[in-house]
Structure 1
Amino acid sequence: MTNSIDELEKDATAIFLIGTNTTENHPIIGYKIRKNVRENGAKLIVADPRRIELAEIADVYMQFRPGTDVALLNGMMNVIINEGLLDQKFITERTEAFEDMKQIVEKYTPEVVAAITGVPAADIRKAARIYAEAEAGSICYAMGLTQHHTGTDNVKSVCNLAMLTGHLGRPGTGVNPLRGQNNVQGACDMGALPVSYPAYQAVSADANREKFEKAWGVKLSPHNGLTLTAAINKAYQGELKALYVLGENPMISDPDQHHVEEALDNLEFLIVQDIFLSETAQKADLILPGVSWAEKDGTFSNTERRVQRVRQAIIPPANSRQDWQILMDLTNRLGYSMDYGSPQDIFEEIRTVAPSYAGISYARIERTGLHWPCPNEEHPGTPILHIGKFSRGQGLFHPVEFKEPFELPDEEYPLILSTGRSLFHYHTGTMTRRTQALDAHQPTNEVQVNHHTAAALGIQDGEMVRLSTRRGSIELKAKLTDILNEKVVFTFFHFSEAAANILTHAEVLDPVAGIPEYKVCAARLEKIV
């Protein structure tokens, strides 16, 4: 997030949510948004293919066709430019390439965009005006925006919109991605990306590589690594021989599950380090029992870039070990010497190689976390990014054309399937489906389907149906609802016995980030007779 979570409760005067079911997937943030709307009169814009809970209190709800995010955002920018609602001072002083973006956006009139997205032109105009005219406009998004083969384009379009209106670098503004798990931000900060060392220092830069070679005393590759999806494809093709999986369950979470299973079976050696015998762990040659969040010390860096202390609350089972100790022992046996005595020792090394963490110490975050970047111990941390200038200097507008999703409905598969999360379950259900109180609320998977679509297919609420795509079929309960339009169905990916990712495809990935298109594929729904 460029800004802090609390600003969504007190500083933002307009909030634009796109591709985030915030009250279910980020309940605390959703509560703060609701409170701001209810108590402070903040304006709320919601864009989502499903009429989510926050749509009920929105000033504008735009139910757009899945995969048409770029067209919708370009349509809003078309209105803002043509009605003179842009922040010309911000654009002139702090950005570049505006004219290139403007030229692309000119053809995306509200009427043209309405035909693409299904959102009425009047709603596009209203949403654009509310956001542009707000004193402090904030954009929040999540995986509904990013999990497309155009995910990077979608994010660039959101950034274009924020820069166009000058809603950056001030309280209550910003471009705010809501992370899917508690330490995704921290994992990325630490270099758990195939293109960067800790603190987003590019692998491809010679100076960065030389810096880490000196710090770690080892020769490093000049080449970027593989994303998980790319690694699975390499394993399927026989080019990748071994895989080490830590706290991840690709057998349920990755697209085209049959493809993933064949890829894992094709490996010569699979190691899984986890706290439960997940579906992926069941295929492993070696299982290393790690510990849960409540059984470890260290830090988490949350979605607002706040680095916080984590303290061990319970003693782990006797045969499990701290993740850092497992990794340290493994590297020592492989011939690379590590000799850390505690998580704090590791954090002290992080401070020496990650400039954005240099001023953060255990002593400083004993009670309250700090937002990075925090370059020295006198620095108060940075709750708001891009005050006065961007990290690259000028903010760069990107001209982004709309591209259709890879797989569109046809006569054989006439519906659009989208997938996501439930309020009651977390990721692949490895933990939550073992929690009786949570599992009782949603013990099995279901497919949400519009009442009229269900009636046309002779489907009753609660009965078993077959949901199919070109990858396969699953059987699950039908949940009749009015939150989706007649051409869209939605299901959850937490359930191994009716796994949504049997159905999703990985044929085309985002060319920059390598993200699969989980949110759109062509599907067929049938009554089981």
Structure 2
Amino acid sequence: MTNSIREVIHNEVIFVIGSNTTENHPVIGAMMRQAVKNGAKLIVADPRRIPLARDADIYLPIQPGTNVALLNGMIKTILEEKLYDEEFIRERTVDFNRMAEALKDCSVAKSAALCQVSEEDIRRAARLYASSHKSGIYYAMGITQHSRGTEGVYNIANLAMMTGNVGVEFAGVNPLRGQSNVQGSCDLGGLPDVYPGYQKVADEKAKARFEASWGVQGLSREPGLTLPKMVDKALEGKIKMIYIMGENPMVSDPDLTHFEAALDNLDFLVVQDIFMTETAQKADVVLPAAAFAEKDGTFTNTERRIQRIRKALDPPGEAKADWWIINELMKRMGYQNAFANPEEIMAEIAGVTPIYGGIDYERIDSKGLQWPVKDKSHPGTPYLHRDRFTRGLGQFMPVTYTESAETADEAYPLILTTGRLLYHYHTRSMTGRIPGLNEVVGESYVEICPKTAALYGLENGEWVTVRSRRGEIKIKVKITEDIKEDVVFIPFHFADAAVNRLTNVALDPIADIPELKVAAVRIEKLA
């Protein structure tokens, strides 16, 4: 998030796109509802009538895969009606005219047709968003998990910059992270092309800094592989061993048949987790890990806040903290620069990661700080880009609409989209063990609208087969008015009726993110 969670309640306009906020981020969702109660205006764009849509001033039930088209329609409206912030554009950005030129053949009417919403609603949303300098955009994987997901993010940034709604309090571009420490894992090098602090592996100065800190020579300047490319290489036999930590890709990855074949082709698989997940069951070695309350360390949350976690009880059996396991592996592989505790690790992080430069355990003992925290006197950064962007001037990106990699056709006439539920977390490796939650939602289902259900002769609770070009699952029908005609929704949490047997591995060409949110399917009644 460029801005802070506490600012949500002070937004004058809230634009939620690609995020089922009240179910996936319930604390932030509750704050949005409080903001609306206090007078904020709310725009929601989602193929499903999510709970937050009921609070919206404008609800846009867009077709899956048309985020870019919607945003282009809003941008076009702001251009035509001259609702943009000329001073901000002139003083703080570049390439505004280049972005506008890319939309010369775009019309709001065309965007509306692609999204299957009314042109006037798109224009109303654009006017409302542009009416305030306290307009915040909030999005999640409904934006990013597309074959053109990066372009969706570019367009969100374009919309925020052209209205002066970034670099100021109570506004911003705010991606809501899917898990509690996703932000922290990315901050500290959990991406294939960067060292901690988003320092590029190709940067010679960054390379030298880490070589000096780690006492090594010859660190590679070549980016590593993204997860989808690792899977492909494993299937080709070019990757022989994979080490998986705290992830259950045998439920969460797209095209599970393809993924399972890749795992089965490995010579050696190591899984480090707190439970015997579906992925751990395929491992040659399982390293039992401690859960969050059984170890010390830090989490960095979605607003970039670095927070202490403290051990409350001992881990069971042979389970160990993640840092201890990795530390022992380093020692046994001959690397002696070992750590005695997580506080020592944080000291090294601060020494080589400028955005964490002022962090130590004493400073975040009672309350976390938001990076960048440049030195020990720096108070942290509640919102980013206050006076300048990281690159200097913010760059507008030209974006035109490209349809999803897979669209409905005669053989597969329905569009499948996926997501999460309030009552379960990720692949249910934890929440699936809680009887009370399973009593509320204990099995998967496919949401379908009454008109489509009638077309197929389906009844609520009936078992059907849902089939895509990659696989099939048997699943119960849930008829609801909250889903668009010719669109179906299946939550991804459940290993039984695993929707990722159906999803598409088509990748965003920039970020290598698979298109989990759009797949063509058909429904068949069971004989």
Q: Which residue of 1 aligns with 2:257?
A: 258
Q: Which residue of 1 aligns with 2:501?
A: 502
Cα deviation digits, residues 181-238 of structure 1 (max 9, x gap): 0000000010000010000000111111111111111231111011112111110111
Cα deviation digits, residues 472-502 of structure 1 (max 9, x gap): 1101110001111111000011111110100
Structure 2 residue corresponding to 1:49, chosen from 36, 47, 51: 47
Q: Which residue of 1 aligns with 2:327?
A: 328
Instruction: Structure 1: state its 5+ residue gaps.
Output: none
- Alpha-carbon distance, 1:319 to partner: 1.1
SS at match of 2:299: strand
Q: TM (normalized to structure 1)?
A: 0.98
Q: Match for 2:367: what amino acid? A: T
- Alpha-carbon distance, 1:439 to partner: 1.6
Q: Which residue of 2 aligns with 1:23?
A: 22
* Residue 88, structure 1, aligned to residue 89, structure 2: no
Runs of 4+ in 1 over 4 A off after TM superposition: none
SS at match of 1:17: strand
Q: Return 80-89 or 102-111, whichever deviates more.
A: 102-111
Q: Match for 2:206: what amino acid? A: N
Q: Check conservation: 1:298, 1:311, Cα contact below 8 A.
A: yes
Q: Which residue of 2 aligns with 1:527?
A: 525
Cα deviation digits, residues 441-469 of structure 1 (max 9, x gap): 11000000001100111110111111110
Q: Check conservation: 1:136, 1:167, Cα contact below 8 A.
A: yes
Q: Which residue of 2 aligns with 1:275?
A: 274
* Residue 246, structure 1, aligned to residue 242, structure 2: no
* Residue 2, structure 1, aligned to residue 2, structure 2: yes
- Alpha-carbon distance, 1:434 to partner: 0.8
- Alpha-carbon distance, 1:60 to partner: 0.5
- Alpha-carbon distance, 1:57 to partner: 1.1
- Alpha-carbon distance, 1:338 to partner: 3.2
Identity of aligned residues (%): 52
Q: Which residue of 2 aligns with 1:485?
A: 484
SS at match of 2:147: coil
Q: Which residue of 1 aligns with 2:397?
A: 398
CA distance in structure 1 between the aligned counterparts of 2:411 and 2:169, rounded to whole angstroms: 50
Cα deviation digits, residues 403-449 of structure 1 (max 9, x gap): 10001111010000001111111111111101111121110000000
- Aligned positions, number: 526
Q: Check conservation: 2:358, 2:376, Cα contact below 8 A.
A: yes
CA distance in structure 1 between the aligned counterparts of 2:318 and 2:438, rounded to whole angstroms: 27
Q: Cα RMSD (Å) of the superposition?
A: 0.8
* Residue 223, structure 1, aligned to residue 196, structure 2: no
- Alpha-carbon distance, 1:135 to partner: 3.3
CA distance in structure 1 between the aligned counterparts of 2:83 and 2:492, rounded to whole angstroms: 41
Q: Which residue of 1 aligns with 2:63?
A: 65
5 Å matches for 1:124-203?
124-203=122-201
Q: Match for 1:176: what amino acid? A: N
Instruction: Structure 2: state its 5+ residue gaps.
Output: none
CA distance in structure 2 between the aligned counterparts of 1:456 and 1:371, rounded to whole angstroms: 52
- Alpha-carbon distance, 1:110 to partner: 1.6
Q: Check conservation: 1:71, 1:108, Cα contact below 8 A.
A: no
CA distance in structure 2 between the aligned counterparts of 1:249 and 1:230, rounded to whole angstroms: 17
SS at match of 1:525: strand
Q: Check conservation: 2:133, 2:163, Cα contact below 8 A.
A: no
CA distance in structure 1 between the aligned counterparts of 2:149 and 2:419, rounded to whole angstroms: 16
Q: TM (normalized to structure 2)?
A: 0.99
Structure 2 residue corresponding to 1:114, chosen from 109, 112, 115: 112
CA distance in structure 1 between the aligned counterparts of 2:11 and 2:374, rounded to whole angstroms: 28
In structure 2, do the counterparts of structure 1 residues 338 and 441 end up closer, same or farther at CA, with 3 Å as the change threshold? farther
Q: Match for 1:317: what amino acid? A: P
Q: Match for 2:78: what amino acid? A: I
